[in-house]
Amino acid sequence: MPLTRHERNAIAFMARHVVYGLTGAVTFGVGLLWTDIGGLGTLVLNSDHWPLNLLMLFAGLFVTFGGVAIGVGVMTLGEDRY
């Protein structure tokens, strides 16, 4: 079943804001690790299970920042226009 123009615009709007959130999450996560705030970068990268640690860190950041970006996008619409 093909999507209508309105549905495609809504999906593109949400996807665009998710990308903004993911970009912010990656920037924040890399900044945390690079500046080694609280020794977090040292703990994560010197662990035997560093891939799992990075996955858990960035998964949480992706969910948080992606959700915030979608929320900000929806709340700043002001009208039913995509």
For 18, residues 6+ apart whose C-beta sits below 8 A from its C-beta are: 66, 69, 70
Looking at the domain assignment, is residue 30 inside a domain?
yes
Count structural domains, the chain: 1
When pLDDT is cut at 50, 70 and 90, the band that residue 39 belongs to is very high
- Global pTM value: 0.83
82 pLDDT higher than 70: no
Residue 82 lies in a domain: no
| Residue 65 domain flag | yes
Question: What does the pLDDT look like over 7-35, one tens digit per residue?
Answer: 999 899 999 999 999 999 999 999 999 99
Say if residue 78's pLDDT is above 80.
no
Assigned domain for 39 exists: yes
What domain range is 19 assigned to? Answer: 5-77
pLDDT category, 66, cuts 50, 70, 90?
Answer: very high
